[in-house]
Amino acid sequence: MEGLERLVRNAESLVEEGYYDVAPHASRSPSFLEFLGRSDLPAPVIAEIKFASPTMERVHAAVTFDVLLDRIVASHPLGLSVLAEPRIFGGHLDYVRRAASKSIPVLMKDIVVDARQVNAAAESGASAILLIQATESRHFLPQPIEAFVDLAHDRDLDVLLEVHTLDEWDAAVRTDADILGINNRDLATMTVDLETTPRLLSSRTKDRPVVSMSGIDRRDQLKTMLQAGADAVLIGSAIMASPDPPKKLGEFLRA
C-alpha cells in the first residue's frame, strides 16, 4: 500500500472508531488570512508541531507538548500547524484545542476524508483545515472536494488545499479554497523535490495566497520558496527533529 492510501485508510478507521466525535471548545484561533502578509512578524513561517511521521524519527515525547507550544508561540511564527492524527504522526485533537487558546492561527493538519473531521477541527478551535487535492483525484473521497470546502466555510474555517502537480493545481483553483499549499513531497512515494514549488509558481498565475510545504531544512531553502512567490512556508520535520525545536524555529524566523 503506497503512502497516501495508507494515510487515508488510517483516517477512515479513526473516523469509524469515533475519534473525531468531540465536544465544542470555546476558544477559536484567529484566521490565517488575517496574518498572511503582516509586516510585524519576523518571517512568514508556519511552525508544525508533530511527534512522529513516516519520514521523521521520533525525537520528543508528547509529554513535552505544552512546554514546546509555549516556547514556539513565544518565537512569533505566522501560525501553527498541529497534527491531530494520533497513530502515525503522534498528534491529538487535544493538542489542537490547547494551541487554539494561544491567540495565534492554528491549522488542524490531518488527512481529511469525512465531514466529521471538518466538524472536529471547528469544535477543537482551529481556524483552518488542510484538504488534499489528491484525495479527490485518487477517488478517496465520498463526495467532491468542493463539498468539504463548503462545509469548512460553513464552520468558519479557512481551507488550505494542498497540491503537488500542475494538474492538481488546475483542479484546486476551480474551488473556493482560501489558500493553496504546494507540497514538495509526493505523498505516493514520500520523496521530496524542492523544485516543486518554484516549478508550479513559474507555470501558473497565482490568484490566492500560497504556502510551500515539506522538505525545507535550511534558511536558504526558505528564501528560495519565498522568492519563487510563496507567501509563507510550513516547516515541520526540520523543527521537530531538532533537539531544541524553538531554537531551530528561531533560525528560520531570522532568515
The answer to whether 245 and 239 have CB atoms below 8 angstroms apart is yes
Q: Taking the model in full, what pTM does it have?
A: 0.94
Q: Exposed, middle or buried: residue 18 (CB in 10 Å: 0-12, 13-18, 19+)?
A: exposed
How far is C-alpha 161 from the chain's CA centre? 9
Report the run of H or E that residue 150 belongs to, with start and end: helix 145-154
The answer to whether 88 and 120 have CB atoms below 8 angstroms apart is no
Nearest of 103, 25, 75, 83 to residue 255 by alpha carbon: 75
Average the pLDDT over 67-87 and give the result: 95
pLDDT tens profile 180-228: 999 999 988 889 999 999 999 999 999 999 999 999 999 999 999 999 9
Measured over the CA atoms of residue 197, residue 238, residue 236 and residue 27, the dihedral's sign is: negative
Q: Is the pLDDT of residue 5 over 90?
A: yes
Structural domain for 146, as ranges = 3-22+29-253
- CATH number at 80 reads 3.20.20.70
Among 32-46, 137-151, 236-250, the minimum mean pLDDT is found in: 32-46
Report the run of H or E that residue 195 belongs to, with start and end: none
State the pLDDT confidence band at 52, using cuts at 50, 70 and 90: confident
Q: Is the pLDDT of residue 62 over 70?
A: no
Q: Is the pLDDT of residue 58 over 60?
A: no
pLDDT tens profile 216-241: 999 999 999 999 999 999 998 999 98
The answer to whether 124 and 25 have CB atoms below 8 angstroms apart is yes
Q: Exposed, middle or buried: residue 90 (CB in 10 Å: 0-12, 13-18, 19+)?
A: buried
Which has more pLDDT, 110 or 243?
110
pLDDT tens profile 125-174: 999 999 999 999 999 999 999 999 999 999 999 999 999 999 999 999 99
Number of domains, the chain: 1
Which has more pLDDT, 27 or 115?
115
The answer to whether 46 and 78 have CB atoms below 8 angstroms apart is yes
Which has more pLDDT, 6 or 63?
6
Nearest of 106, 161, 100 to residue 128 by alpha carbon: 106
At 212 the three-state DSSP class reads: strand
- Relative to beta strand 185-186, strand 128-132 is unpaired
pLDDT-above-90 percentage for the chain:
80
- Relative to beta strand 191-192, strand 185-186 is antiparallel
CA 12 – CA 19 distance, rounded (Å): 10
State the pLDDT confidence band at 60, using cuts at 50, 70 and 90: low
